[in-house]
Amino acid sequence: MPKVVRFHEVGGPEVLKFEDVPQPEPGRSEARLKVQAIGLNRAESMFFHGQYVYAPKLPAGLGYEAAGVVEAVGPDVDKGWVGKQVSVVPAFSLNDYSMVGEVVLAPVEALAEYPAKLSPVEGAAIWMQYLTAYGALISIAGLTKGDFVVIPAASSSVGIAAIEIAKAEGAISIATTRKSDKKAQLTKLGADYVIATEEEDFVARVKEITSGKGARVIFDPVAGPFLEKLTEAAQPGGIIFQYGALSMQPTPLPLVTVLTKGLWIRGYTLLEFTRLPEKLGPAKKYIYDRLADGRFVPKIAKTFPFAETLEAYRYLESNAQVGKVVITVP
């Protein structure tokens, strides 16, 4: 019997349990995947902590991203999928499907082939990060050559994807990290500028870098009190994406600055994007093409074997990583 990871109560990684389950049979519009690798995301940590945008229906599984081989498909699904090496796009609720397991079901519309030159570990580190960044920076903000874009928490997989997208579009990336120990790595990964926010005057540095204009686009997963500084660093008419709440603190709105600058504060999640086929199709092509030609390279921070899933999520929550944390499945 294949093993999966589930939780019966909310809390830290200690609530995650390995369970044996019968081999699942795909229903209509579903495929069964023999999993080879699983990409971890902050969203899943928030899910089992009970802090995500929707509550878990207990007992619950978890996991948005997996790479593996299609073993079987539902009666209405093209049999041509069987035997293909695929990865899974986060285009579903974690209450409906979960990817942390040896064998899992996935909706067929969430399957995507990835360039053959990538390994399964890299294949499990594609869609959440690149689609999240693409949806905000390209589809909504229309990032273009010469734009200044601020990327807080830039050592995350999504932050690194945003750096790569900025470079591909000719924009100028200003990455932030709390301390200077990650600055060299972020520079090596393509950031044009890196600011250590606990050691430098963030607003003054942005104004210096932008010659006083401020940043047109800010792509922030942190929120909390730092929003005030982000509004000060934004150019008039700029847009601030809030796509996460890593600070877990209240986020007061600096109303006077927002009003006087005419700023856009845009709440954003990946799911508003991946569930619309007319948007998802062009996004997948944009990402696939740049993975294939080497402009995008998934950065893997660390891998853990499936048996160490709890340790992998603890490492994710430590914020020590630069890039994606991935579980490998034998």
| 206 pLDDT more than 90 | yes
Quote the pLDDT of residue 257.
96
Q: Which whole number is the average pLDDT over 262-281? A: 88
The sign of the CA dihedral 6, 302, 130, 117 is negative
> pLDDT class for 64, splitting at 50, 70, 90?
very high
Quote the pLDDT of residue 247.
83
Quote the pLDDT of residue 144.
95
Task: Residue 157: name the closest of 181, 122, 192 by CA.
Answer: 122
Stated pTM of the model = 0.89
pLDDT in tens, 87-134: 999 989 999 999 999 999 999 999 999 988 999 999 999 999 999 999
